[in-house]
Amino acid sequence: MEHETTVWFAKSFGLFYLIAMSIGVVVYAYWPKNKTSFDSAAQSILDPSVEDKPYEAKRWQ
């Protein structure tokens, strides 16, 4: 692969996939339906009713 070709590819494809990815991430983060699971995730580490023990139903080994 020529240096010029690499540069062309990096400058064109690189630009568009990064923009597409940024849009994708913002859409995912602000998708209204996801808000409930995000909020419960943020609360999950603070829940005082949760014992400091693994989840029983899926005991390992």
Does residue number 25 form part of the binding site for other proteins (CB under 8 A)? yes
User: Given candidates 9, 12, 20, 39, which one binds other proteins under the rule CB under 8 A?
Assistant: 39
Check if the beta carbon of residue 18 is closer than 8 Å to that of residue 12.
Answer: no
Where does residue 52 rank: exposed (0-12), middle (13-18), buried (19+ CB within 10 A)?
A: exposed
User: Given candidates 1, 33, 42, 49, which one binds other proteins under the rule CB under 8 A?
Assistant: 42
Q: Which is nearer to other proteins, 12 or 44 (CB)?
A: 44
Does residue number 16 form part of the binding site for other proteins (CB under 8 A)? no
- Residues 48 and 17: their CA atoms lie apart, in Å, by 43
